[in-house]
Amino acid sequence: MKSKSNISRRIFIKTSATLAAGASLLPSFYCCTARPKLMTRGFGRLNHEVTTFGLGGQASIQWTPKDVDPVAIILKAFDKGVNYFDTSNLYGPSQVNYSKAFRKLDLIPGQTDFNERLRRSIFLTSKTHLRWAKGDMEMEGLNNWTNGQEGSHTIDDLRRSLTQIFGDGKGFYPEGAYLDMVLIHSVTSPADVDAVYEGLDDPDPKAERIGALAALRDYRDGTNFTGLNPKEEKLIKHIGFSGHYNAGVMMDMIRRDTYDVLDGLLVAINANDKLNFNMQHNVIPVAAEKNIGLIAMKVFADGAMYTKGAHWSREPSDVVRQAGSKELPYKPLIEYSLTTPGISTAIIGIGQISDDIAQCQLSQNITASQLTSGSLSESEREEIEKMANRVKEGKTNYFQLDQGGLTAVQNAKLSKTGNKTIQLTWDTAYAGDHPIKWYEIWRNDTRIGEVEHKPQVSLEPFRFEDSPDALMNYEYKVVTVDTKNNKAETESPVAV
């Protein structure tokens, strides 16, 4: 096995080379001087190229140590050419810190020196944890976090973002202010999915409750089907969601999107992903197949790969202010997330900056992010996994559901479609350490066919038809097979 130092050196050489290779991919935008050009990637179905490094809105931008200036972090990221910026209604002063930085950059509509072209050059995303746009009906398992704003609904969060970032922080925001994307944050349970989709198919202003998606669609399109956008404002350009915990719930969230409302997904993905109910072989391929823009988060397991405990951050002392460690270099972890197929950018929170590059997390992380999606082989990714798996005995991803391994298919059903035709239907199985390859179909003890696995992007199930010589007491089963020929079959045979 190659040593950790060799891995780190090899990745350093590779990222340094790709920094030069990516220099011609991003057009120059100007504030006072030309901004550096960083490597970019396409962002799903959107007509926007995003830098492979995106600035996360937490770390010192939220939990600010006394000796750190959060505004300086944002300005330095901008000056270095970063064009993807992340924040949230849940991140304390994060949105206000962005406002201070944006005022220095002339990014506030209505200001005398407002630079509209510069504003179009960046992609600004905020988040809401509010599931309801109307109504406050409790649902078992619902994660509806008001963040101290009791009685708030989704559009209240949208307006709060706009006033904190572009306005006076007290409710006013100028004409022309908008967010590039709003994410419905941390979709965790089936109840979350049910709530946010409420009313999307048939929005009714008289309905007792309306979910987040229907209202956000109105504010994206400038319509008022929900009755919640009487001025028919257009305040956002795109809608998405995020998830840390349950890949299966996130897959359901995407499958229910029959209108292609969801343009973006912020997803937890790091080198300890496979120790849990993994994202890389489950929800990420579904989102990529549907051409949803994918943003990686938790690259360092929210700092748990290093000095922070495996828990949600609560105070400035939780902010990690170093770039990697001798035991686990930071570059391989960044490369792992950014070489996960489908990922466009990785948002990384910054603890501190410095004029000394050796001490500047931002400079180091940006340099490490200059790589193409295919820069690592599968064996190199596995080496990085082995390194990361040793940290805290692999128990870093506290935000992620425990590993369940390869599973049987869901919702297997059998029906007769003719005198001699049997139809089997099922929903996708969940992958373990390896991608799913196909589904074997068995009648009694005979394998009678197979169906290729593809990411299930809609509510339409997988299908297989059989025409036996006679409709007898046959028993059928579906067996999931992954790329390493591991198998998982339906627990109970489906009988005719």
**What is the pLDDT, as a whole number, of residue 201?**
96
471 exposure class (CB count in 10 Å sphere: 0-12, 13-18, 19+): middle
Residue 405 counted as domain residue: no
Are 320 and 453 found together in one domain?
Answer: no
Residue 403 counted as domain residue: no
Residue 402 counted as domain residue: no
Computed over every residue of the chain, the mean pLDDT equals: 91
Query: 199-204: which pairs have CB atoms within 8 A and are 24 or more residues apart?
Result: 199/226, 200/259, 200/261
Are 288 and 340 found together in one domain?
Answer: yes
State the angle between helix axes of 212-221 and 154-166 in degrees (0 to 180), rounded to the nearest 10.
50
What percent of the chain stands above pLDDT 90? 82
Are 232 and 289 found together in one domain?
Answer: yes
Are 231 and 140 found together in one domain?
Answer: yes
Which CATH number characterizes residue 424's domain? 2.60.40.10
Task: Summarize pLDDT for 168-206 with one digit per residue, the tens.
Answer: 999 999 999 999 999 999 999 999 999 999 999 999 999
Task: Summarize pLDDT for 415-432 with one digit per residue, the tens.
Answer: 887 777 889 999 999 999
Residue 437 counted as domain residue: yes
**What is the pLDDT, as a whole number, of residue 470?**
67
Q: CA angle 266-272-274, nearest 5°?
A: 85
List beta partners, residue 134: 210
Residue 400 counted as domain residue: no
Least confident of 92-96, 139-143, 445-449: 139-143
Task: Summarize pLDDT for 237-265 with one digit per residue, the tens.
Answer: 999 999 999 999 999 999 999 999 999 99
**What is the pLDDT, as a whole number, of residue 6?**
42
Are 444 and 334 found together in one domain?
Answer: no
Model pTM greater than 0.75?
yes
Are 104 and 223 found together in one domain?
Answer: yes
8 A C-beta contact, residue 133 and residue 155 = yes
End-to-end CA distance of the chain: 53
**What is the pLDDT, as a whole number, of residue 12?**
37
Q: Last residue of a domain, which of 353, 370, 394?
A: 394
The boundaries of the domain holding residue 468 are: 410-495
Q: How far apart are CA 226 and CA 237, in angstroms?
A: 18
**What is the pLDDT, as a whole number, of residue 4?**
38
Task: Summarize pLDDT for 447-462 with one digit per residue, the tens.
Answer: 999 999 999 999 999 9
Residue 404 counted as domain residue: no
Q: How far apart are CA 187 and CA 262, in angstroms?
A: 13
In the structure encoding, which two tokens stand for residue 371, read together? Answer: 């790589």
Q: List Cα–Cα distances, 211 to 136, 153, 159, in angstroms.
A: 10, 9, 17
**Residues with Cβ < 8 Å from 27, sequence gap 6 or more?**
37, 121
Q: Last residue of a domain, which of 368, 394, 420?
A: 394
Are 384 and 440 found together in one domain?
Answer: no
**What is the pLDDT, as a whole number, of residue 217?**
98
Residue 399 counted as domain residue: no
Main-chain phi, psi angles of 9, to 5 degrees: -65, -45
Q: List Cα–Cα distances, 157 to 90, 150, 153, 174, 460, in angstroms.
A: 9, 12, 7, 16, 34
Q: How far apart are CA 123 and CA 26, in angstroms?
A: 14
Element (H or E) spanning 241, and its range? strand 236-243
Average pLDDT of the residues in 63-79? 97
Cβ count within 10 A of residue 419: 7
**What is the pLDDT, as a whole number, of residue 471?**
63
Task: Summarize pLDDT for 305-333 with one digit per residue, the tens.
Answer: 999 999 999 999 999 998 888 889 999 99
Estimate to the nearest angstrom the gap between the alpha carbon of 317 and the chain centroid.
26
Judging by DSSP bridges, how do beta strands 123-128 and 132-134 pair with one another? unpaired
**What is the pLDDT, as a whole number, of residue 266?**
98
Task: Summarize pLDDT for 330-389 with one digit per residue, the tens.
Answer: 999 999 999 999 999 999 999 999 999 989 999 999 999 999 999 999 999 999 999 999
SS3 category, 206 = coil
pLDDT bin (cut points 50, 70, 90) of residue 93 is: very high
8 A C-beta contact, residue 60 and residue 349 = yes
Average pLDDT of the residues in 411-416? 90
Are 53 and 190 found together in one domain?
Answer: yes
The beta-strand segments (E) located in 298-406 are 343-348
Element (H or E) spanning 441, and its range? strand 436-443
> Does the pLDDT value for residue 138 go beyond 70?
yes
Which CATH number characterizes residue 261's domain? 3.20.20.100
**What is the pLDDT, as a whole number, of residue 3?**
40
Identify the residue whose tokens are 């969060």.
157
Residue ranges of the alpha helices (H) in 339-407? Answer: 361-368, 378-389
Instruction: Quote the number of domains for the chain.
Output: 2
Reference 300, options 325, 281, 265, 266; nearest CA is 325
Are 369 and 479 found together in one domain?
Answer: no
Task: Summarize pLDDT for 12-70 with one digit per residue, the tens.
Answer: 334 344 434 333 333 333 344 578 899 999 999 998 999 999 999 999 999 999 999 99
Residue 147 counted as domain residue: yes
Are 346 and 443 found together in one domain?
Answer: no
Q: Is the dihedral of CA 34, 14, 351, 250 positive or negative?
A: positive
Q: Last residue of a domain, which of 346, 370, 394?
A: 394
In the structure encoding, which two tokens stand for residue 162, read together? Answer: 């706009």
Q: List Cα–Cα distances, 61 to 87, 126, 184, in angstroms.
A: 9, 14, 21
Q: How far apart are CA 247 and CA 268, in angstroms?
A: 10
8 A C-beta contact, residue 61 and residue 350 = yes
Q: How far apart are CA 111 and CA 66, in angstroms?
A: 30
Q: How far apart are CA 331 and CA 333, in angstroms?
A: 5
Are 293 and 321 found together in one domain?
Answer: yes
Q: How far apart are CA 350 and CA 352, in angstroms?
A: 6
Are 375 and 446 found together in one domain?
Answer: no
Reference 237, options 215, 213, 263; nearest CA is 263
SS3 category, 226 = coil
Q: List Cα–Cα distances, 206 to 138, 151, 198, 203, 225, in angstroms.
A: 19, 19, 13, 9, 11
